[in-house]
Amino acid sequence: MMGKERDLDAAERALGTLPRKGENARTRREREAWELRLAALLRPIESVAPPPGMFARISERLAHTETCQTLGKTRRSARRWKGIAVVASLAMVGLSLALLAPRSAPEHEATRYVAIVTADEGGAPGMIVQFDTGTGIATIVPVIPDAPNGNVYQMWHVPAGSSKPVSIGLMPDKPGHMDVKIGLGDLFGISIEPPGGSPTGQPTDAGWHGEMMRIE
Amino acid sequence: MNAEAEIDDLLRATATGDRAAFRLLYDRTSPKLFGIALKICRDRPTAEDVLQEVFTDVWRKARNFDPRRGEAGAWLAVIARNRSVDALRRQGRGIIGATTGSDADLTTVPAPSLLGDGRVDYLTLIDCLNRLDERQRSLILRAYYRGDTREELAGAFDTPVNTIKTWLRRGLTALKTCLDE
């Protein structure tokens, strides 16, 4: 039986007086149970016809998203990864453009990418991965509060073409370089794990995703 | 087939990638979800953005819907409510919104006559809310309809945050007890 305090935390996350960030699969379900309970409060709100053309705008938005996902193979890998939140991959298009760009010192020319890994709901960032093709160095910037209830955040990497997440360690307190080779089509994610990290060597929960953007 | 069962079917078809079902689902549910977004955001352009986010979510997350846990209509309404509150917070409206007092309709219990149907679970929730201490009820409704944080509630009630937390949790405990009866 669920503890009273835990149930009240779930209720407050449903209300929004506690943040949803940091939930695991179990606490998410507990919050959702409260959300469905409280949804009755939305019943008396009157319907209002949305403006014409709205569905077309939604379709465009979805088409754009799916194009991005296909480029990064994010969807396919995400499904294999049993739902772990995933960061979009480096886009091959971006790298090609970088190679074509006229620069005076090609050996130092660089394209920089940034992946902002955000919470599944609410959009708050959990970590930022920066990658510089010139130096080949990836840097992680954690922007996440301590994991709730003594848990830890664990970072994962899925090399392109692989379906198996590999742990790249627990979330650091400070920005640092990541000991991982990054390539086209790679994926990243964050999961919440018990102290010491995942006991199974695989992510047991995930609540963060994002997309890799080329910044220069 | 009744309306709720139809929405349920359309949502499940959407989960399989059926775009025609998604379109029909939009036609059936978007006025209600837009109404929710407008009521909470109180700004038409914001509500339009929210509606787009809601249906983007619905397309992506339809397979997460579990009919054993609740109705499709409620599942959709929750997405609209949460997205609306997220939008308000992104805009940082809390500081302004918490001090304006023209939204009494968002902090009082709707009269049962306003409920479109007489579903027992809805009437039960309203009945249980009405049994709460007025202060507790008001806190819960402000948080729910306006997305007020504990800090904003503390400001609105001129009360320390810890006291707000206590009142909120007492109210939620009483609500749960009443709903479980």
Asked, for residue A57, whether it belongs to a domain, the answer is no
Residues of A with Cβ-Cβ distance to B75 under 8 angstroms: 36, 39
For A120, nearest residue in chain B (alpha carbons) = B57
User: For residues A81 and A165, is the Cβ–Cβ distance under 8 A?
Assistant: yes
Residues of A with Cβ-Cβ distance to B67 under 8 angstroms: none
A121 with B70: Cβ contact below 8 A:
no
Residue in the structure block whose two tokens are 């983007």: B56
Same domain, yes or no: B57 and B113: no
Tell which phi-psi region holds residue A178, choosing left (phi > 0), alpha (psi between -120 and 50) or beta.
beta
In total, the C-beta contacts within 8 angstroms joining chain A to chain B are 121
Same domain, yes or no: B85 and B5: yes
Domain coverage including residue A171 = 74-214
B80 with A42: Cβ contact below 8 A:
yes
The band of B17, judged by pLDDT with boundaries at 50, 70 and 90, is confident
Same domain, yes or no: B116 and B78: no
Q: Please give the average per-residue pLDDT across B81-106, as a whole number.
A: 65
Residue B158 above 70 pLDDT?
yes
State ipTM: 0.87
| Residue to substitute from B103, B169, B175, B179, interface A, most A β-carbons within 10 A | B169
Same domain, yes or no: B71 and B140: no
Domain coverage including residue B176 = 100-181
Choose between B65 and A95: higher pLDDT: B65
- Of B66, B91, B116, at which residue does a domain stop? B91
* pTM for this model (two decimals): 0.61
- Of B68, B91, B114, at which residue does a domain stop? B91
B42: which residues sit within 8 A by CB, 6+ positions away?
A: B103
Same domain, yes or no: A96 and A30: no
**Is residue B163 less than 8 Å (CB to CB) from chain A?**
no
Separation between Cα atoms, residue B49 and residue A120, nearest integer Å: 18
Residues of A with Cβ-Cβ distance to B78 under 8 angstroms: 32, 35-36, 39, 42
Same domain, yes or no: A81 and A187: yes
| Residue to substitute from B109, B144, B170, interface A, most A β-carbons within 10 A | B144
pLDDT at B21: 94
Residues of A with Cβ-Cβ distance to B80 under 8 angstroms: 42
The one-character DSSP state at A204 is: -
Q: How far is A79 from chain B (nearest CA, A)?
A: 12
| Residue to substitute from A9, A30, A45, interface B, most B β-carbons within 10 A | A45
- Number of folded domains that form chain A: 2
A61 with B52: Cβ contact below 8 A:
yes
What is chain A's pLDDT, residue by residue, as a tens digit (216 residues)?
568 899 999 999 999 999 988 888 899 999 999 999 899 889 888 899 999 999 998 988 887 665 444 333 333 444 444 334 333 333 333 333 333 333 333 344 566 776 666 665 555 667 777 777 777 778 887 777 777 778 888 887 776 666 677 888 888 877 777 766 666 556 777 888 888 888 888 877 665 665 556 555
Same domain, yes or no: B8 and B83: yes
**Is residue A109 less than 8 Å (CB to CB) from chain B?**
no
Same domain, yes or no: A109 and A204: yes
Same domain, yes or no: B81 and B124: no
Same domain, yes or no: B120 and B149: yes
Residues of B with Cβ-Cβ distance to A49 under 8 angstroms: 31, 34
Nearest to B14 by CA among B31, B32, B2, B28: B28
**Is residue A47 less than 8 Å (CB to CB) from chain B?**
yes
Q: Please give the average per-residue pLDDT across B28-50, as a whole number.
A: 94
The band of B168, judged by pLDDT with boundaries at 50, 70 and 90, is very high
Asked, for residue A36, whether it belongs to a domain, the answer is yes
Residues of B with Cβ-Cβ distance to A48 under 8 angstroms: 31, 34-35, 38
Nearest to B110 among A33, A44, A57 (CB): A44
**Is residue B13 less than 8 Å (CB to CB) from chain A?**
no
Please report how many Cα atoms fall inside a 13 Å half-sphere around the Cα of residue A202, on the Cβ side: 7
Asked, for residue A56, whether it belongs to a domain, the answer is no
Asked, for residue A185, whether it belongs to a domain, the answer is yes
Same domain, yes or no: B56 and B83: yes
Same domain, yes or no: B2 and B74: yes
DSSP conformation letters of B77-131: HHHHHHHHHHHHHHTTTHHHHTT----GGGSSPPPGGGSSS--HHHHHHHHHHHH
- Number of folded domains that form chain B: 2
**Is residue B172 less than 8 Å (CB to CB) from chain A?**
yes
Same domain, yes or no: A112 and A188: yes
Q: Residue A71 corresponds to which amino acid?
A: L
- Of B39, B56, B91, at which residue does a domain stop? B91
Same domain, yes or no: B51 and B106: no
Over residues B120-148, the pLDDT tens digits come to 567 788 889 889 988 999 999 999 998 99
The band of B56, judged by pLDDT with boundaries at 50, 70 and 90, is very high
Domain CATH for B180:
1.10.10.10
Same domain, yes or no: B12 and B83: yes
Which of A123-132, B61-70, B87-96, B98-107 has the least mean pLDDT?
B98-107
Same domain, yes or no: A82 and A25: no
Please state the φ and ψ torsions of residue A158, each to the nearest 5 degrees: -120, 105
Same domain, yes or no: B19 and B105: no
Residue B26 above 70 pLDDT?
yes
Nearest to B26 among A32, A48, A55 (CB): A55
User: For residues A115 and A125, is the Cβ–Cβ distance under 8 A?
Assistant: no
Asked, for residue A210, whether it belongs to a domain, the answer is yes
Choose between A157 and B97: higher pLDDT: A157
pLDDT at A90: 32
